[in-house]
Structure 1
Amino acid sequence: MQDLYKTLGVSKTASDAEIKAGYRKLAKQYHPDLNPDDKAIEQKFKEISQAYNILGDAKKKQQYDRGQIDATGQASNPFHGGYTHRGQPRGATAGGNGGFDFGNEMDIGDIFSDLFGARKRQTRTSPPQRKGSDVKYTCSVNFVEAAAGAIKRIDLADGKSLNITIPPGTEDKQVLRLKTKGLPGVGGGPNGDALIEVRIESHPLFSRKGRDVYLDLPISLTEALEGTTLTVPTVTGRVKVRIPPDSNTGTTLRLKGKGIDDIKGVNRGDQLIRLQVYLPDETDKELRDFIRNWAKTKNYDPRKHTGLFE
């Protein structure tokens, strides 16, 4: 015969609170709603409910402990006092529900409501939380703004405008993430993010390689021969540069620390100035005659030193 105390996993000296706690634990584990189409689980749940139906009722528990009723709630001794002529213990109610007593003395519905009600109400009334979608934007900046950093204003999908910081050293097509500036979340979930793709416009003078900036600087024949000092642009402003005598096309001058910052502001690149010697747009007879006479006495071949045209 089934031992109701073992069914609930409690001792025979368990208190009412311990019996109730044992039932709650097992009812949640073996409830048919959590284990659909499992006949063994359904039978186990019936046994647990039947055990609590008796042990959870002080009067029936005493009758069970004295052996007046068995594990099903039926009279163990039909001639013992306290029973009806049909052999049912007084107060017991036969009917559906597998012979369980769901009377007022022990409201099992309250326990189920406590265990499962909140979850079911949430399922019926509250959609699951979900983060909002990210929204993509593009922002165009010029070469100097990307190199030195800038503040730009963009229009968001909700019609609002927002100032964004372009960090120094930002690269072309780099994506900046603005937390919670995307679409609203669902069911109380967090907003999505705004993803800003930065597009860097080309510059008529500057080009970039890593953190270094390159500038091609035209100089005259006289400046190349004699040397001079010129003012040149950089991404942080104009500076003076000394052009050494006998400079040539391809001669490269390096300006330390005049390139592009990294985003952390720790390592700044350089600016490299590549000299390009230009003849006048129109040369006169005097210059041409001078060059011809000079060339007659000089062994001058600009391709010889490269070793590529021999």
Structure 2
Amino acid sequence: MNPYEVLGVARDAAPDEIKKVYRRLARETHPDLNPGDAVAETRFKQVSTAYDILSDEKKRRAYDEFGEISLEAGFDADKARAARDQFEARFGSPDDDAFGEGFAFGGIDDLLRGFGAGRGGRGGPRFAMRGSDVEASMSLGFVEAVRGGEKRLHIARPRADGGVIEEDVTVRIPPGVTDGGRLRIPGKGGEGHGGAPAGDLWIRVRVEPHPVFRVSGRDLEFDLPIRVAEAIAGARVEVPTLDGRATLTIPPGTSSHARLRLRGQGVPAAGGQPAGDLYARIKIVVPKQIDDETRAAIERIEQDDPRKGLF
């Protein structure tokens, strides 16, 4: 990234001019003023990064001398300058006529790369640097996330010259992706420099909740209300599934919070993993009002004291 081009200022621009331009661009591209605008968000990050470089005297001087690679972690401008000065004192500058036209010079570049930089400040960068990673977000419906599939997403990613690339990418959604999960698309981040590869695109997934189902790993779960009589005597009831309906057998004497399983009705099989299961968590619904006859019938059925042994 060229911070001068990002802000649209000359290399000899004064600090006050740089600050004025930055404030204007930051207002225009701020995410709070452009909700949901991926291009504006990417541009805001670029503007902020460019200002961070040009507003810092040491960073700006290092960039002017060594180019973008001076911004890499671990770069030491003082050591790089000392190494360059020692090299040129011994061998002369590669820009001198003594080297001859077309001289294949690489020594000083190789030396400075040991400190994280080549001669980027002299006539353009001569280095290879991988592009930056890009973050994006994507919302999925619950069933869409459980089943997986493909979805198109509009993204904005940095160009090597400081501009922005806008494009639509196809995102492959693995079955069972969960809320907050991250998907990676290699090579769809910022452009690389000097022939280096582009960065990656990382997509944060937001999954809308379902009114009935919940996800637990590769399994699905839901609450199943049943009557007291069904819990006591057992029953066969219809239950919802992702594909429609199925019949579930409730064994006699089923208690609240019991989990009954429907095999293979959870997250679909994918990537060598088998399909998950669907679990019904039992909730016994007790009637709020019962008549004397019903009360007597229940008391005849339930002769055992469930609290026996507690005391």
- Which residue of 1 is the match for residue 128 of structure 2? 129
1 or 2 for the larger relative contact order (CA 8 Å, sep ≥6)? 2
Gaps of 5+ in 1: 1-31, 43-107
CA 1:164–1:303 in 2, change beyond 3 Å: closer, same or farther? farther
Q: 1:232 aligns with which of 225, 235, 239?
A: 239
- Cα distance, 1:260 vs structure 2: 2.3
Aligned partner of 1:133: which letter? S
1:202 aligned partner, one-letter code: P
Please state how far the C-alpha of 1:191 moved relative to its aligned partner. 2.5
Alignment match, 2:275: 268
- The alpha carbon displacement at 1:261 in A equals 4.4
Q: Which residue of structure 1 aligns with residue 249 of structure 2?
A: 242
What secondary structure does 2:202 align onto? strand
Distance 1:224 1:125 in 2: 82
Distance 1:162 1:116 in 2: 41
Partner residue of 2:198 out of 191, 216, 231: 191
| Mapped contact 2:238–2:246 kept (Cα < 8 A) | yes
Partners of 1:243 and 1:296 in 2: how far apart? 22
String of CA shifts for 1:59-86, please: whole Å, max 9, x gaps: xxxxxxxxxxxxxxxxxxxxxxxxxxxx
Query: Residue 283 of structure 1 aligns with which residue?
Result: 289
Work out the CA distance in 1 between the residues paired with 2:281 and 2:298. 27
Task: Note the C-alpha offset of 1:278.
Answer: 0.9
Q: CA offset at residue 177 of structure 1?
A: 1.0
Instruction: Name the counterpart of 1:144.
Output: 143
Q: Please name the residue that 1:218 is paired with.
A: 225
- TM-aligned CA deviation for residue 257 of structure 1: 1.9
Check 1:237–1:151 CA distance in 2 against 1; reply closer, same or farther (3 A cut).
Answer: farther
In the alignment, the residues of structure 2 paired with residue 152 and residue 143 of structure 1 have an alpha-carbon distance, to the nearest angstrom, of 14
Percentage identity across aligned positions?
A: 36
SS of match in other structure, 1:264: coil
1:168, distance to aligned residue in structure 2 (A): 0.7
Match of 2:240, as an amino acid? P
In the TM superposition, residue 193 of structure 1 has moved relative to its aligned partner by: 1.8
Mapping of residues 162-201 of structure 1, within 5 Å? 162-201=169-208
> Which runs of structure 2 are paired with 1:22-171 in the superposition (5 Å)?
35-37=87-89, 113-116=102-105, 124-127=122-125, 128-157=127-156, 158-171=165-178
Figure out how many residues of one structure are paired with residues of the other and give that number. Answer: 206
- Cα shift at 1:236: 4.5
Distance 2:106 2:143 in 1: 62
Q: Deviations over 1:245-294 (max 9, x none)?
A: 333323321122222246514232222222222133x5342xx4432465
TM-score normalised by the chain length of structure 1:
0.54
Deviation at 1:119, TM superposition (A): 8.5
User: What is the one-letter code of the residue matched to 1:301?
Assistant: D
Instruction: Check whether the contact 2:87–2:108 (CA below 8 A) recurs between aligned residues.
Output: no
SS of 1:133 mapped into structure 2? coil
**Structure 2: gaps (5+ residues):** 1-83, 93-97, 110-118, 157-164
The 2-side partners of 1:258 and 1:291 are apart by 38
How far is the alpha carbon of 1:217 from its aligned partner?
0.6
Equivalence for 1:258: 265
Partner of 2:212: 205
In structure 2, relative to structure 1, the CA distance for the partners of 1:150 and 1:118 (3 Å cut) is same
Measure, in 1, the Cα distance between the counterparts of 2:297 and 2:185. 69
